[in-house]
Amino acid sequence: MTDTNHDGGADMATLDEGRAADEIADLSARIAQANEEYHTLDAPVLSDAEYDALKLRLLALERAFPQLARPDSPTQAVGAAPAEGFGKVVHAQRMMSLENGFSAEDVTDFVARVRSFLGLRDTPAFTAEPKIDGLSLSLRYENGVLVQAATRGDGAVGENVTANARTIADIPHRLTGDVPALLEVRGEVYMTHSDFQRLNAAEGGRVFANPRNAAAGSLRQIDPAVTASRPLRFFAYGWGQLSEPLADTQIGAVQRLGALGFQTNPLTRLCHDADGMIATWAAIEQQRATLGYDIDGVVYKVNDLSYQTRLGYRSTTPRWALAHKFPAETAWTRLDRIDIQVGRTGALSPIARLEPVTVGGVVVSNATLHNEDYIAGRDSTGAPIREGRDIREGDWVKVYRAGDVIPKIADVDLSRRPQGSQPYAFPETCPQCGSDAIREPGDSVRRCTGGMACPAQAVEKLKHFVSRAAFDIEGLGAKQIEMFFADPVLPIREPADIFTLAQRDTRNLARLKNREGFGARSAEKLFAAIEDKRRIPLARLIFALGIRHVGEVAAGILARHFGTWDALIAAIDAAAREPAHAADDKTRRTVLADSPHWSELTAINGIGSVLVQSLVTTLTQEAERASIDRLITQIEAIPAAARQAEETAVSGKTLVFTGTLERMTRAEAKARAEAMGAKVAGSVSAKTDLLIAGPGAGSKAAKAAALGVTVIDEDEWLRIAGSA
């Protein structure tokens, strides 16, 4: 590597802007040339290592001099990973979603919950502002300079769209005035109706279904020049990481964002009670048609930021905000056919194929039918829905859309039912593999019993395994999984096969690098990306297995509880050897006594018996377990460290609250204790570590004293909880 140490490669600290600009121009040209050579010649001039070194140097310069980064920089362009498109950004603070409300009652409930959580006698103030129907974006400013823009992604990890965001006129490159050292601004990218119509006309007709899709499609362009040509706008409504608070109130913080140079929504109002919030919602809905951009509801936020901090977050939504949605839009259309999809857990999901129809600006041609009961016109208890009207192929149905979710079917018009139509016969065998499809008692879903032998389940499981929150292997997405699954020479049929791919490729005559769509560099890149994930955090591994009921949150809890894969699997095997477990509450109590391992699992905060049942059944199922064992020999699970937040005075301890708390409600005390890693129990036992007793504490305090449990008062508790 002679030439990779670039001539102009001076140390960042001593580099001035002029020389940096020269070096950036030079590097950009050399990388662009290398890209071209790579794509047009069979023998690239630069080695991969030399190429990477140039790119890393350019990235470092662009980070040090963000104002010099050009929208057409090769660091932002295709070369990197065509299939995946953008680099990834781990959000410094998760991007949350919002709890939805649909009625005035949902609003009064929300206000009541906030009040009771905080223990307030009076209703606190709330802001009300339109919920913009676009896509959220997080903008990171360091010393007032825009250094990074990222999409929401899954909330934890988004896509790096910095170059594209820089082309949006509403997004300042530099902030002026009293600028915090670090500021992450969050808001919504959207497109106005008139810009959307002009864009679609210019592109020769119906290109995008609606302004939201147009905004998303435009922001996620590989070429920033294309984004620059699209009329995108941005409203700021929130923030992520900050070096100092923006204000004491939500409304004050939004005003600060305005003063810093952002557009904020002019319809934002301060409300003093639920009636005021509902009136503002109605007023905003009145203006909906004339605003010139799409909104799908009103967002209420607790105004006092110290209250927001106390209220905190559930797993994906803040307790201090509510999205009050406008009613769903509906349309009638013909249901042509019912298809059955087989998911990763074997669930047979009926999909309605519809005559395309526009519902609230979006063309809809598929809708979910949930399950066979829903089609037959009854709910899971057998009670009639739609007054018992069933849904058949050929029927006229009422479709509705609420938010981003898959459209649903609300009703059916019997007067237009074709003569001679037959009730839909839900399949009792898997349409993909022919295995029996059965319904467990109490389950509304019929499932294929083929397990790993069912190709549909196996493919869906693999797709889940490589998905973003799981193994997240660059260059191995859903499309590639389908390709490798069907590959006769270099197949991937189960997760372990991914990690033997490179080895099998070497033994092969038909090497991957010689295939259509691959080359030496992309094949090597894929193998390197796989190698990179051979060591994986335990939580991701658990989530990746795709076990029913085990989502990201539960996987994290299990990983932190057991620390290692071996400990987890030992606990599950031990539980499996215990007497049969009834899921129902009454019988469980008697079973628990002779099932200590089972009860260790169900006692974990956030892990219920249904989840434990699913874990135990799946991991002790022979073929499934053999496949997982093969995977485990290929990888190394990084032991989970207990979360930092849990290393508190009460982490791992069991707390009981009793008596009256005067400065914090029970709900808040419980949420605070749990956030600090403690478990909160309802009654005192030998397992209790700490009793917090307010005035009026009775039998619990006496019992604690008898058991020798430490008892503290509220002041002491507040000192521990850090708010005395």
Q: Which residues bind ligand IVH (CB under 6 A)?
A: 96-98, 129, 131-132, 136, 152, 188, 237-238, 299, 318, 321, 323
Nearer to ligand IVH, 192 or 614 (CB): 192
Residue 687 bears catalytic tag: no
Q: Could you give the CA distance from residue 469 to residue 88 in angstroms, rounded to a whole number?
A: 12
Establish how many alpha carbons lie within 13 A of residue 508's alpha carbon, considering only the half-sphere containing its beta carbon: 17
Distance between CA atoms of residues 335 and 397, nearest Å: 7
d(CA 298, CA 301): 10
Between residues 284 and 498, which has the closer beta carbon with respect to ligand IVH?
284
Closer residue to ligand IVH (CB): 153 or 694: 153
Please say which residue, 321 or 490, places its beta carbon nearer to ligand IVH.
321
Name the minimum Å distance from CB 186 to ligand IVH.
7
Smallest gap from residue 456 Cβ to ligand IVH (A): 31
Q: Which of 615, 713, 722 lies closest to 659 in space, CA to CA?
A: 713
Tokens found for residue 358: 């526009």
Distance CA 184, CA 320 (A): 20
Nearest CB to ligand IVH, comparing residues 274 and 323: 323
Q: What whole-number distance in Å separates Cα of residue 69 and Cα of residue 61?
A: 8
Buried/exposed 80-95: b ≥16 CB within 10 Å, e otherwise: beeebebbebebeebb
Least gap, CB of 224 to ligand IVH (angstroms): 22
Q: Which residues contact 104 (CB under 8 A, 6 or more apart)?
A: 274, 278
In whole angstroms, the minimum distance from the beta carbon of 149 to ligand IVH comes to: 14
CA pair distance 251, 128, nearest whole angstrom: 10
Nearest distance from C-beta of residue 233 to ligand IVH, angstroms: 13
Smaller CB separation from ligand IVH, 73 or 164: 164
Residues 222, 141 contacting (CB under 8 angstroms): no
Least Å distance, CB 382 to ligand IVH, is 34
Q: Residue with the closest Cβ to ligand IVH?
A: 136
Contact between 157 and 208 under an 8 Å Cβ cutoff? The reply is no
Nearer to ligand IVH, 224 or 318 (CB): 318
Q: Provide the greatest CA pair distance for the chain.
A: 83
Residue (97 or 651) nearer to ligand IVH, CB:
97
CB 146 → ligand IVH: shortest distance, Å?
19
**CB–CB of 287/293 below 8 Å?**
no
Closest by Cα among 600, 606, 596 to 677: 606
Report the 3 state secondary structure along 207-250: CCCCHHHHHHHHHCCCCHHHHHCCCCEEEEEEEEEECCCCCCEH
- In this structure, is the dihedral angle defined by the CA atoms of residues 134, 464, 552 and 526, taken in order, positive or negative? negative
Tokens of 207: 């290109």
Q: Toward ligand IVH, which CB reaches closer, 316 or 349?
A: 316
Q: How far is CA 694 from the centre of its chain?
A: 40
Nearer residue to ligand IVH within complex by CB, 117 or 237: 237
- Min dist. Cβ of residue 317 to ligand IVH (A): 7
Structural Rg of the chain based on CA atoms: 29
Compute the least distance from the CB of residue 558 to ligand IVH, in Å: 26
Residue 448's SS3 state is: strand
DSSP codes of every residue in 320-365: TEEEEEPPPEEEEEEEEEEEEEE-TT-BEEEEEEEEEEEETTEEEE
Sequence-distant (6+) residues with CB within 8 A of 299 are 98, 128, 129, 130, 131, 237, 321, 322, 323, 324
CB 268 within 8 A of CB 129: yes
**Residue carrying the six token digits 């360091």:** 142
Question: C-beta of 12: minimal distance to ligand IVH in Å?
Answer: 35
The token pair at 52 is: 């990477």
Q: For the CB of residue 305, give the shortest distance to ligand IVH in the complex, in Å.
A: 13
Whole-number Å distance between alpha carbons of 539 and 639: 9
Nearest alpha-carbon partner for 211 in 235, 194, 188, 236:
194
Integer distance in angstroms from the first to the last C-alpha of the chain? 60
Tokens encoding 598: 């089972």
Rank residues 129 and 472 by Cβ distance to ligand IVH and give the closer one: 129
Catalytic residue chosen out of the listed positions 131, 461, 653, 700: 131
- When the beta carbons of 402 and 576 are compared against ligand IVH, the nearer one is 402
Q: Which is nearer to ligand IVH, 215 or 557 (CB)?
A: 215
CB of 187 to ligand IVH, least distance (A): 8
Minimum distance, C-beta of residue 254 to ligand IVH, in the bound complex (Å): 9
Positive/negative CA dihedral, 48, 50, 53, 55:
negative
Judged by DSSP in three states, 110 sits in helix
Q: How many CA atoms lie within 13 A of 592 on its CB side?
A: 13
Residues identified as active-site: 131
